[in-house]
Amino acid sequence: MSASTTATLRHDWSLAEVKALFVQPFNDLLFQAQTVHRAHFDANRVQVSTLLSIKTGACPEDCKYCPQSGHYNTGLEKEKLMEVQKVLEEAARAKAIGSTRFCMGAAWKHPSAKDMPYVLKMVEGVKAMGLETCMTLGRLDQDQTEALAKAGLDYYNHNLDTSPEFYGSIITTRTYSERLQTLAYVRDAGMKICSGGILGMGESLDDRANLLIQLANLPEHPESVPINMLVKVAGTPLENADDVDPFDFIRMLAVARILMPQSHVRLSAGREAMNEQMQALAFFAGANSIFYGDKLLTTANPQADKDMQLFARLGIQPEAREEHADEVHQAAIEQALVEQKSSEQFYNAAV
C-alpha cells in the first residue's frame, strides 16, 4: 500500500488492513508515516499544550491504570475543584512559557450541576487570554456539552483508552458506548475532539489496531489523538504490568498517523520514561503534539526546559495557533520558550 493512497482520508479501515500496517518492516512503516505526515503538516512544527488538574482524586470510576480512582490506595491526596482565579493564573503561566492550548482535567465520572458554572467561567477566562481551551470532565450529557461550547471550549478530551473487546478488562464503571455517545455530543455541539488511548495495559496487537480503527472510522477523525504509554503507579491494579516495547510504541504512533493524516497525534503520558532518541523517533513517526510542563495531571512529565533543549537539537519549533499564526506572534512564542525560567514558575496544582 503506497503512502499516497493512505494520505486520503478514510473512515472504513478493516482489522486486516491495519494489522498489515503494524507488521511491516519498521523502516517501511516509518517512511510511509513520515510521507503522509509531510503531506499534511510542517514536519518540524509541534503543537504544545499544558495540562492542569483542576480537581484531583476520589474519582468513582475504577479505571485500572488511574491513580485518581477512589477504588485504589495510591497515596494521592484528594483536592476539591480549584478556584477559578487560580486556574486562570496557571493558564497565564502556561501562556508565558509558550503553550498555545490549556487543558483542564477533573477527576469526575461526570460534572455535577453545582460545579458546571465554575467550569464554564474557567473556559471563558482561559479563552479570553487567547489560548485554545480543552477540558476533560468525564461523561457529558447534551445540555452540558452545549453549555461548554457556548462558553468557548475548543476541544473536549474523552479517551476511548483501548479496544471495545479489551475495555471491560480495564474499566467496569462506564461503558464503551457511553464514551462514544459523549464524543458524538461533542461533535454535534461544534467542538473539536481529543481522543486516544493507552498502551501497556496487557492489550494485544488486535486491541491496539481496533482502538485506532474506532477512532479513524468515526464520521470525522478526532483533531487530536493522544497516544499514552502506561505510567505504572503503585496501588493500581496495573502497577506490575509489562513494559511496552519502545519499537511497538513507535509503531502505534506511525499507524495512527497513517490512519488519521490530518489529526495531531500527541506524544502524551509516559514521556518521562522515554529517552531523547525515542522521542525523536516518535516525531519522525508522525507525532506532532506534546504536553509541556512538569506534570500530566498527577504523573511526571519532562521539564519544560528539557523539551525546548530537545526541540533545539532537532530543529523543531512550536506550532502557533492558527488564528494567530503571523510572524510576530510566532516570534513571541519562540522567544518566550528561549527565555523561560526554571520549573519553579510552573504549576504545582496537581502534586
Average pLDDT, the chain: 83
> According to DSSP H, which parts of 156-296 are helical?
164-167, 176-188, 205-216, 246-259, 276-284
From the candidates 101, 174, 179, 194, which is the catalytic residue?
194
DSSP code at position 345? G
From the candidates 66, 174, 251, 257, which is the catalytic residue?
66
In a domain, 221, yes or no: yes
- Give the lowest-confidence range in 65-74, 181-190, 211-220, 242-251: 65-74
Enumerate residues 6+ apart whose C-beta is below 8 A from 319. 42, 45, 46, 47, 48, 100, 288
In a domain, 339, yes or no: no
Mean pLDDT of 141-163: 94
Query: Does 39 or 294 have the greater pLDDT score?
Result: 39
Task: Please give the residue range of the domain that contains residue 177.
Answer: 18-326
Q: Is 134 a catalytic residue?
A: yes
Cβ-contact 222, 194 below 8 angstroms: yes
- Give yes or no for residue 81 having a pLDDT over 90: no
CATH number, domain at 217? 3.20.20.70
In a domain, 125, yes or no: yes
In a domain, 42, yes or no: yes
From the candidates 10, 38, 103, 271, which is the catalytic residue?
103
Q: Which residues are annotated as a binding site for [2Fe-2S] cluster?
A: 103, 134, 194, 266
Q: What pLDDT sits at residue 321?
A: 53
What are 156's strand-pairing partners?
135, 193
Q: What pLDDT sits at residue 58?
A: 65
Q: Is 103 a catalytic residue?
A: yes
Residue 203 burial by Cβ neighbours in a 10 Å radius (0-12, 13-18, 19+) = buried
Q: Is 101 a catalytic residue?
A: no
Q: Which residues are annotated as a binding site?
A: 59, 63, 66, 103, 134, 194, 266
Confidence of residue 301 (pLDDT cuts 50, 70, 90): very low
pLDDT in tens, 213-241: 999 999 999 999 999 999 888 888 888 88
Q: Is 63 a catalytic residue?
A: yes
- Give the lowest-confidence range in 24-28, 116-120, 173-177, 327-331: 327-331
Q: What pLDDT sits at residue 6?
A: 45
Cβ-contact 64, 237 below 8 angstroms: yes
Angle (nearest 5°) at CA 48 between 278 and 158? 90
In a domain, 119, yes or no: yes
Q: What pLDDT sits at residue 340?
A: 39
DSSP code at position 59? B
From the candidates 101, 174, 208, 266, which is the catalytic residue?
266
From the candidates 10, 45, 63, 101, which is the catalytic residue?
63
Q: What pLDDT sits at residue 101?
A: 85
Residue with cell 500527541: 266
Q: Is 208 a catalytic residue?
A: no
Mean pLDDT of 177-195: 95
In a domain, 297, yes or no: yes
In a domain, 13, yes or no: no
Q: How many domains does the chain have?
A: 1
